[in-house]
Structure formats: C-alpha cells, structure tokens
Amino acid sequence: MSTYAQKKGFGATLWDFLTTVDHKKIAILYLIAGGFFFLIGGIEAVFIRIQLAVPNNDFVSAGAFNEIITMHGTTMIFLAAMPLVFAFMNAVMPLQIGARDVAFPYVNALGFWLFFFGGIFLNLSWFLGGAPDAGWTSYASLAIHSKGHGVDFYVLGLQISGLGTLIGGINFLVTIINMRAPGMTYMRMPLFTWTTFVTSALILFAFPPLTVGLVLMMFDRLFGANFFEVAQGGNTVIWEHLFWIFGHPEVYILILPAFGIFSEIFAMFSRKRLFGYSSMVFATVLIGFLGFMVWAHHMFTTGLGPVANAIFAVATMAIGVPTGIKIFNWLFTMWGGSVKFTTPMHYAFAFIPTFVMGGVTGIMLASAAADYQYHDTYFVVAHFHYVIVGGVVLALLAGTHLYWPKMFGTMLNETMGKITFWTFFIGFHMTFFIQHFLGLWGMPRRVFTYLPGQGFETSNMISSIGAAFMSVGVIVLLINIIVTSVKNVRVGNDPWGDGRTLEWSIPSPPPFYNFKQLPLVRGLDAYWIEKMEGKKEMTPAEPLGDIHMPNSSFLPFTTSLGLFIAAFGAMYHVDDKGWALPVLFIGLLVTFGSMLLRSVKDDHGFHIHKEELMNEDDNKGVKA
C-alpha cells in the first residue's frame, strides 16, 4: 500500500473531511449533506400530501402548513437539488477534463461549508420559534409582515449558502477554462462538463441579484430600511424582479447538469457516440443565454403591461427550440444503438416523455393571456414538478446509480435500483399528473385545505397515494446504499463496461491525485477511442514526474462558522437583546480573521515525488 492510503480511526477521518480540499471528498460531503436535506424536504412533502389527502383535514394547522410548503420548496431547491448537482460536478467534471483537482481547492471547500452552515441555519428555524412561511419565493408584500423570525432565517440562511454557490460557480469556470488535459479542446469536452460550464456561468450572473434581494429584505426586516414599505415610498415589485432575475436562471442551473448526466447515460448505454454533439453544445449555450431573458413570465399577473408580457411570452416559447433539439438528439442517440437497460438508462428513458410533458405545460403557461387562468393554481404546481422532479430529480437518481462506483468503488444493486425506479416513476406520475386537472378545475396552490363536494376529493387522494409510492422508492434506495456499502464488493476502473470518458479510465475511487500522468486526449469520448483501438488505458501526455498538490485547511470551516454565528447576532438584534450585537461582531471577526489568516499565511502545497509514485506501482506488482 502507498503511504497515503492508510486505515484511519473515526476521529482522524472526521478531521480529514472537515479540512479536506480534495474535490472527490468534497463531492461526498455534498452528496451526504444534499441527501440529508433531500430527505427532510421529502418528509415535508409527505406532510403536505397527508394534509391534503382528504377535505377539511386538520393534520397540521394552517400556519404550520404555510411553514411546511415554504420549507419544502426552499429546502428542495437550495439545499437538496443544488448541492446534489454540485456533488456530481465535483466528483466527475475534473476527472472528465483530465485535471488533478479544481482550480481553487480551498475555495471549493469554503463553498461547501458556506452552503452547509446556511442550510443548517435555515433548518434551525423549526426549533427556534417557527420556520419561514411566506412561500419559497418569499414575496416582499407577504414576507415583511411575517411575524417572528421565520423569514429572517430564510434571508440569512440563503444569503450564506448563496455565497457558497457563487464561489463554487467561479471555481468550476476557471477549472474548465484553465485545467483541461492536453488535447482536451472545448469541442471534445463531454456533455456533462459542457453543462457544468454553462451552469457555472449562469450561477455567476444569477446569484448576485438574489444576494441583493436578500440584502434589501434583511435591511427592511432587521435594520429599519424601507425598500418594500409602500407607505415610506418603497416598492414590493423590486423583490419580484430581483428574485426572478435570479430564480429563472436558477431552474436552468438545475436542469442543464441534469441534461448533461442524461447525455452521458444515453451515449454510454446506447454504446454509440452522442448524436449531434455540436448541436447539443449549441443548444446548451443557447438555453443558458435565453434563461436570462424570460424572468418576467413569472410575473404576468403583476401588471407589467401587455408589451412586456408579450415580449417575455415569446422569449419563453423560444426556449422550447433548443430544448427540442436536445430531445431529438437523445432519441437519435438511441436509434440504432445497442441499448442496454441498466438502472441509469431506465431513468434516462423515462425522462424523455416526462420532461416533454413538463415542456408542453410550460408552453401553455408561457401564453400570457392563458396564464391568467392557470396562475397560482395546481396547474403550475404540476408543471414545475414535471420539469424539476421529472428532469432534475430523475437525473440525480440516475447519476447516483451511475457514478456511485466511481465515487465509492462499489456498485449499487441493480435489482433494487430498478425497484426504486419503478416505484418512484409510477408514484411521481400518480402524484403530479392529476394535479394538472386539479389546477384547471380551480384548486388554488398553497391552500392548507379544501371543502368537500367541490370535486377535488378523489384526485387529491390519488395524488397523496402517489407520494407514498415515491417515498417507498427513496426508502429502497437507502436500503440499497446500506446493503451495498456493507457488502463493499470492489470494482475496477470501468465497472459499467461502457465508459466513454476519462473518468472511467482511472481506478474507482481514483487516487487523490487522480491521474498519475495526465492523459493525451485524441478526440471526443477519449477513453472509448483508446478502447476501440484495443488499448486498456489512456496514452500519457507527459513523463512521470512530481505532482503538486494543495494542503488541507480548517479555515474554510471557520470562515463559514463565523457567518453562521454572525447571522444569529443580526437576527436577534431586532429583539433588543443585549448579546446580539456582540455576537454579530464576534461572528464577523471569526470570518474576516480567517480570511486574513488565509491571506497572510503562505500555502505552497506539497509535492508527491516521482519515486513514491513508482513505488506504488511496484507494490501493486504492475507495469513499471
């Protein structure tokens, strides 16, 4: 064994994860934290469906229902979907471009800890006087009048985790631009890397408006400002604009990586090159660009006027074109391929009709005139669950099965994987298909109950039973994870046998320096090209030499912890608590102190020497 991979005790492992700057370990942290918040958000969803299963139900009170729907949406978008997407980006993207780590390993760790403390802060609201209750969009007209600290938790928690996402986006952009292996031109990058690239650009430009919106809301609620106080000259529509200038790109931030994962799966398990690669790249960039042009379609009923509504309606419908390009390319990738129905391929196959249904209702909603009828009904709820669950969550589940062996070195059980797929897939359509009709029949969203005799009973009951099926699917996945982790059957470089891209050319999990020698990339699907020529591994692009690696650091943790502490000070400052301001300053001191320490303390990293790398080979008894 090498000197680097020794068995460690629990304390040492914990310290390792608290201080790690390795993108593969950060990916695991994102997966665990995101998975945890996904379960919390899922439990909230089940509570919603229990409450709505029968009319006049009193399973939860009206106030608690508002908190649950707000936290369900906020948790699922910001604390589950985003970090899970980040988990796969971190785990796979650097390997796909043949890099030894991301451009800023330290910033990568900082991004994770900011997200984590923000998420914990937001969820502590349940125990500290009540969760936010103004909806996940937290419209200012509602939010500034919300009693208690719920909305303050929302504002401060999202601010902290949003900063983490922003720096993560910058990090991925620089990584892809500067750190590609020799021969890895832009037009040879795997589709998942391309979608990570475009997504990161969206993050960079979409998150600052959210930051500003949250700052304004924080100033209003905690420091006496008047941005949204109409009597003082304020205007609540500013929040709507800022929120959706962020919020619409956000849905593409979620769905583009999902497209990336599915593109990899279609090519892999059709054993065929992705159809129309360059048009896929083009469509991805175009969707990213158009994503910034359509935010006001969330505000058709705000009263922006017919001209604005018409422009945003047309721009919205235009996004259907590049998305359609993608759908056909995926279909043509399977056409004539030798399709293998693995668990990930099940998800990919099911994704196409599901997502197309979400797209069709999207075009319906984009018609501004018709939207007045759909607005704030269950039709909207059905639409966005079809695109987010039918697109993003299916991709995340597919990605979990696909990349599990690369991340952990062992395969998830395929039979249980297919059980998860079928229960989740059937449950999903049962839950949400009927909600289209509930909406068209007039059931408004965000209501905590409804009366009998309005024709909503049967449909709501069907919807709630569907939610139970989805829960079973998730539970089977958890059992699958436990069982396979206990068995822990180790797998080789390319456990699916059909790997096309660089991540499948190295061990599972990869050594901490990823590539002993950077690979020479000779075309799209670099590893597949080598395999087709009868080779077992990539041709190296450089002689064996010293490898430069970054040092671990505890400072990302303390930097984030400081903001977590400061947030409590800022929040309780309005209650005239004597300790609030000191806590605020101590927290900020910890954060800025950590940043200063990072700045003045030189961090040159360390080198793995050539001899050590050669020894490792000798010990394994393979090639010199």
> What residues make contact with another protein under the rule CB under 8 A?
103-104, 107, 166, 170-171, 173-174, 177-179, 204-205, 207-209, 211-213, 215-216, 219-220, 223-227, 229, 231-235, 238, 241-242, 245, 548, 596, 599-600, 602, 604
Nearest approach in angstroms of CB 457 to another protein is: 45
As a whole number of angstroms, the distance between CA 521 and CA 186 comes to 12
Nearest approach in angstroms of CB 169 to another protein is: 8
Of 244 and 421, CB closest to another protein: 244
Whose tokens are 């961090």? That residue is 603
Q: What is the CA 409 to chain-centroid distance, rounded?
A: 23
Q: Please classify residue 116 by burial: count the beta carbons closer than 10 Å to its beta carbon, then call 0-12 exposed, 13-18 middle and 19+ buried.
A: buried
Of 171 and 270, CB closest to another protein: 171
Whose tokens are 């500013």? That residue is 238
Q: What is the dihedral of CA 64, 68, 74, 75, to 10 degrees?
A: 130
Nearest approach in angstroms of CB 55 to another protein is: 43
Of 105 and 257, CB closest to another protein: 105
Produce one character per residue of 62-87: b if its CB has 16 or more CB atoms within 10 Å, e if not: eebbbbbbbbbbbbbbbbbbbbbbbb
Nearest approach in angstroms of CB 353 to another protein is: 37
E strand intervals along 466-554: 547-549
Nearest approach in angstroms of CB 575 to another protein is: 17
- Residue 444's SS3 state is strand
Nearest approach in angstroms of CB 121 to another protein is: 22
Nearest approach in angstroms of CB 241 to another protein is: 8
Nearest approach in angstroms of CB 599 to another protein is: 6
Of 212 and 461, CB closest to another protein: 212
- Residue 304's SS3 state is coil
Of 90 and 413, CB closest to another protein: 90
Of 137 and 211, CB closest to another protein: 211
Beta-carbon contacts of 43 under 8 Å, excluding residues fewer than 6 positions away, are none
Q: For residue 103, what are the CA distances in angstroms to 83, 168, 174, 188, 198? A: 19, 11, 6, 20, 17
Nearest approach in angstroms of CB 230 to another protein is: 9
Of 103 and 470, CB closest to another protein: 103
Neighbours of 237 (CB within 10 A): 15
Ramachandran bin of 332, using left for φ above 0, alpha for ψ from -120 to 50, beta for the remaining angles: alpha
- Residue 443's SS3 state is coil
Whose tokens are 């996940």? That residue is 136
Are 92 and 197 in contact by the 8 Å Cβ rule? The answer is no
Beta-carbon contacts of 307 under 8 Å, excluding residues fewer than 6 positions away, are none
Of 173 and 290, CB closest to another protein: 173
Ramachandran bin of 525, using left for φ above 0, alpha for ψ from -120 to 50, beta for the remaining angles: left
Of 453 and 543, CB closest to another protein: 543
Nearest approach in angstroms of CB 506 to another protein is: 21
Q: Which amino acid, 547?
A: I
Residue 160: closest CA among 210, 218, 209, 118: 118
Of 223 and 554, CB closest to another protein: 223
Nearest approach in angstroms of CB 547 to another protein is: 12
Of 170 and 304, CB closest to another protein: 170
